[in-house]
């Protein structure tokens, strides 16, 4: 998508905490904002900033816009979950995040629930992958299959409002799928 305003008036919550894979939050955030979307970084535990994981070391800190407990799904068009190993593992243990993810599947205004890399762990924890096509980082394939998912090894998999990708190399396809879903 090259229309700089194709996502004007669209609002996305990127839900993350410490240990998010830096490229999987920052690159989609920048790309979606460049298309006109308003993107909020939403976290837990009253974090005012969160620290990324940059391949094999701690990365940059970024500011948090809102807390999970303070957002209303009706204010958003989509939610996304970056990967990394640490971030999704912490988020899937947070009942507020799991509950929000479950509610998002039922909200008509939510057009996208997107997760990349290890992010689909949270989708499995929220019990929303049964009989749904997904992809992920290969190391959690079995976890997703055990949750009933139909796992595919593709750059991006779209099943209804669920959008999943495997790793940082897939970010352009991931962003394109999110943008397409939000505009159609």
Q: Which of 35, 79, 117, 177 is catalytic?
A: 117
Convert the pLDDT of each residue in 38-94 to its tens digit.
999 999 999 999 999 998 999 999 999 999 999 999 999 999 999 999 999 999 999
d(C-alpha 16, C-alpha 83), whole Å:
9
| 117 in catalytic set | yes
Question: What confidence tier does 8 reach under pLDDT thresholds 50, 70, 90?
Answer: very high
For the chain, the domain total comes to 1
pLDDT at res. 154: 98
Across 8-155, the runs of DSSP E, i.e. the strands, are: 11-15, 20-21, 38-43, 49-54, 57-63, 66-67, 78-81, 112-116, 133-134, 150-151
DSSP 55-70: TTEEEEEEE--EEGGG
Residue 1 has pLDDT above 70, yes or no: no
Q: Which of 10, 92, 111, 118 is catalytic?
A: 118
| 51 in catalytic set | no
Domain limits at 96?
11-183
CATH of the domain at 61: 3.40.50.880
- Examine residue 5 and state whether it is found in any structural domain, yes or no: no
- Examine residue 3 and state whether it is found in any structural domain, yes or no: no
d(C-alpha 69, C-alpha 56), whole Å:
31
Convert the pLDDT of each residue in 53-68 to its tens digit.
998 999 999 999 999 9
**Contacts for 77 with CB less than 8 Å, ≥ 6 apart:** 10, 11, 12, 109, 110, 111, 112, 182
């Amino acid at each position: 998508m090259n229309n700089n305003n194709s996502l004007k008036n669209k609002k996305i919550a990127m839900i993350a905490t410490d240990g998010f894979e830096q490229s999987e939050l920052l690159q989609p955030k920048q790309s979606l904002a460049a298309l006109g979307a308003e993107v909020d970084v939403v976290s837990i535990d009253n974090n005012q900033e969160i620290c990324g994981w940059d391949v094999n070391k701690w990365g940059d800190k970024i500011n948090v816009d809102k807390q999970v407990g303070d957002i209303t799904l009706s204010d958003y068009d989509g939610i996304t979950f970056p990967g990394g190993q640490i971030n999704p593992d912490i988020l899937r243990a947070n009942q507020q995040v799991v509950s929000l993810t479950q509610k998002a599947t039922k909200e008509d205004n939510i057009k996208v629930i997107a997760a990349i890399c290890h992010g689909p762990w949270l989708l499995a924890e929220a019990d929303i992958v049964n009989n749904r096509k997904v992809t992920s980082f290969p190391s959690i394939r079995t976890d997703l299959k055990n949750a009933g998912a139909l796992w595919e090894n593709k750059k991006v998999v779209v099943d209804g409002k669920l959008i999943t990708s495997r790793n940082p190399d897939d970010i352009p396809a991931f962003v394109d799928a999110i943008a397409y879903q939000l505009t159609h």
